[in-house]
Structure 1
Amino acid sequence: MSGPTLADIARAAEVSTATVSHALNGTGRLTDSTRRRVREVATTLGYGPQRSPRTANTLGVAVTTYGGSAWNFLEVPYFARLLTAATATAHSHGYALMILPATSGAEAPWHTLTVDGMLLLDSPTDDPVLRALRARGIPLVFDGRPVDPRPGDVWVDNDHTATTREVLTHLAASGAQRIALQAGYGDEHYTQAVTRAYEQWCHEHGRTPLFFTFDPYDTSGHSFDAVFTARTCDAVYTVYDPGGRQVLAAAARHGLRIPDDLRLVCVSEDPAYAETDPPVSTVTLNPSTIAETAVTALVSRLSPTAPPPPQGALTVPAVLHPRRSSHPRHTSPSLM
């Protein structure tokens, strides 16, 4: 293997070669700080296993937003649909797809992972996974614009500014005067772009911004209690899938009728929202199309004969599906 050896890493990290081996392979009884420091030194030195025929034609995919905490992203309809389509697209190009766990802690495999290329989903600010993969020279394509893109980066995303403005305009046309945004949980481009678009729209239309920070554990929507009690909000745009159910629960608790007292639009791929009472208006980000586009672009980056994918953004349109939750009865009875 060319490049730095275990002995080189051991000297730089001031530990034994046995400690380096344990740190890189996730074995042994090491503290998290020691394991992390050794892996960071290895990344800085450019250490990484060489690809072998045994592991060729393998792509990796990882959800790195909220890094450092283990969470089951497969429970989220967006990620479930995206990964299903990504797997099918990878297989159609002759690649296996390895889905990595959502963690960037000391036990994470980023410093020793052997793949041809990686698809990163919702890479946040100062993403340690992204740093490790860049240092090792592994080809990347992003789902969602990287916060700090480099020349040559390729990402697939929606136009979140246009989508946010479309939703807000839709809610305003329904009669909403005090539209709140539930967002702000992550530090990826998606959250940042939606928040900026919301603030700009409010400024242009003389509205006062009203923010709610999404809490995945607030299943009853208690974060809305104060505002719903005071009746100082008549519409909510929530950009995470569970947010719609949180609003429905809070509205029921406070006796708010949807859509007469409170309009609601939720970003979600969950078909159950079409069956709630009332049916909830949703925005689909089209994750299946995003996955197909991203995996195809990654395969193109890896092929010595295929033309390289365009650099920068590959845009997939999002679609607003208006339902009863954002249309008062007297305006659009046909949408029931």
Structure 2
Amino acid sequence: MGYHATTGKIAPRKPPAMPLTPINAPFPATRLRRLRRMPALRGLAAENTLSVNDLIWPIFVMEGEDDAYPIPSMPGVSRLTLDRAVDAAKEARGLGIPAICIFPYIEPSLKTDDCALAWSPDNLSNRVTAAIKSAVPEVAVMTDVALDPYNASGHDGIVRDGVIVNDESVEALVKMALAQAAAGADILGPSDMMDGRIGAMRGALQAGGFQDVAILSYAAKYASAFYGPFRDAVGASGALTGDKKTYQMNPANSDEALRLVARDLAEGADMVMVKPGLPYLDICRRVKDQFGAPTYAYQVSGEYAMIAGAGANGWIDEEKVMMESLIAFKRAGCDGILTYFAPRAAKLLGA
């Protein structure tokens, strides 16, 4: 403080101008490595974090009792009978994984052109859902709403004269969604990519008294080559006739993904999905930035198989690559990830 000779008041003294660079400072003055020096500092400076609450664990289920069938193209992953699926849900609870997602393997002899088994109250998926919700009610159950496991042609919609018909497929998907909600599903995952199915499902759920059932829409699902091992797991590989390019997205497009997400949110989706995951991180980022809605990615079977297969051969450190791949989704703006690595990741995150 200083004395002002004219007014007689005490006036604050201006600090001397400081040079932009500290005098005699060694170069460089800004050393970004300071915050990488030790784990504590790296943790404090981390821009994104991965937690067990970010994980949804997809499992494959099959008929039978006390059995598991290893899937050759997905090392470490097996189809599970109902009782073992319940055990998996209990494992999820113990690890803190909040949700489990069910995908059924249906015997080929039960697949039909009209896909009627898809909305049977007693089909495999619905029985597993009910069993898990009875035994482990605190674990959220997500289901798959698509006709491919039940379709003789292997397609996600009904086929008429070689064409996947949209509106008739939507009617079937609505019946399927209602049956899954009645079985106790907490989250419906429409993965079919038919036009208008979210609005139709939301309206039917509301009318049927299932207004609290959430919809996680596969809004931006690409016609990808990364799905091969999944089709082995659900038994769709041999059944599929042709490809799915008339309803799944062109991998060349990104603006279209935003249009699809906008439509599904407007029709009543609570959350949206980008699938596959790592090859489409740019889409995840655009979706989250544009809409701010809960955004998820599916680390699909091909992504899993590449990491697990390379790890099994000793070509990479599988555990480190697994965790690096998962944090990439968070960095891209995702709120959560469907991943077959969920239990392994959860154990590491809880360690």
- Do the two structures share a fold, i.e. TM-score over 0.5? no
- Report which of the two structures shows the higher radius of gyration computed on alpha carbons: 2
Q: Which TM-score applies when normalising by structure 1?
A: 0.28
Q: State TM-score, norm by structure 2.
A: 0.27
